[in-house]
Amino acid sequence: MNSSGSDPVIHQLNAILSRLRAPDGCPWDREQTHQTIKGQLLEECYEVLEAIDRNSPQDLKEELGDLLLHVLFHSQIAREQGTFSFTDVAEGLSEKLIRRHPHVFGKASARNAEEVTVHWERSKREEKPERKSLFDGIPQGLSALLRAQKYQDKAAKLGLDWNHSDGPKAKIAEELAEVEEAVAQGDPKRIEEEIGDLLFAVVNLARHLRVNAECALSGSAERFRSRAQFIEEELRARPSGRPLELAELELLWERSKARAQERGTPPDVS
């Protein structure tokens, strides 16, 4: 097990973390374990995504630094436990990248991205023979949208897929009809199941259109929040506490969308 990276900057970062975790270092840093900081790691991943969505290189640089801190922090904890170090992590990644790109570092060939994926998947199967199913290795901690899309990707390799996006479009219409039927029956359990099937079908359409369902929904949710906050501010500024009619709310909604377009933000949800 190697102790630290050879790059001077990485070496300095490792030295800083080692000092923070020392007996006379920072009390908070000394108390942390893999379990106690895993939630913060997830938060940092989302902050990186937000920086990308804001198209802010400065913010992205900072958030990637925070994300790197967590990689180094986990590696420092592991080094103290005698299991591995950051150098081991980096060396393992280097070996994996070379192994999974035989068309670049070996004698294999790949004419397009699909053939690259074939090499990648074959290499993964060879590395992890304990995985007997295509679905093994998909983290249960993923959001439901991401998990659904991953499951669908794997199922497609078994031939369980439509040849065209018209398939999932028709499935959405079918599932919506089943939701309406469940609502008419008044069965809460079936309503939940049918809503789930409808969402699953929408994810499948997103996959066929090469859209990440998680990112798509996140974007819509944030656009909705921004528009709703605009209306909230407008209502707060009005002297009268009179509830607005639906037509007045729709007018404010359209104004919020127009303001977003003037600022150059993406069109809002309808």
For residue 228, is pLDDT > 80? Answer: yes
Residue range 220-229: average pLDDT?
Answer: 87
Q: What does the pLDDT read at residue 203?
A: 96
pLDDT of the residue at 267: 47
Task: Please check whether residue 48 is in contact with residue 63, taking contact to mean a CB–CB distance below 8 angstroms.
Answer: yes
User: CB-based contacts of 178: which residues, under 8 Å, 6+ apart?
Assistant: 194, 197, 198
| pLDDT score for 180 | 96
Taking the CA atoms of residue 150, residue 155, residue 157 and residue 160 in that order, the dihedral angle to the nearest 10 degrees is -140
Q: Which amino acid is at 251?
A: L
pLDDT at 107: 86
SS3 136: coil
Window from 7-21, 66-80, 134-148, 194-208 with minimum mean pLDDT: 134-148
Q: pLDDT for 43-58, tens place per residue?
A: 899 899 889 988 999 9
The pLDDT value recorded for residue 57 is 95
Q: For residue 263, what pLDDT is reported? A: 66
Q: Which of 114, 121, 95 is nearest to 106 (CA)?
A: 95
Query: Quick one: average pLDDT of 57-82?
Result: 96
* Local confidence band at 117 (pLDDT 50, 70, 90 cut-offs): confident
DSSP-based three-state secondary structure for 84: coil
Over its C-alpha atoms, the chain yields an Rg (Å, rounded) of 25
Q: Name the residue with higher pLDDT: 238 or 197.
A: 197
- In whole angstroms, give the CA distance from residue 99 to residue 267: 43
Beta-carbon neighbour count of residue 250 at 10 Å?
A: 11
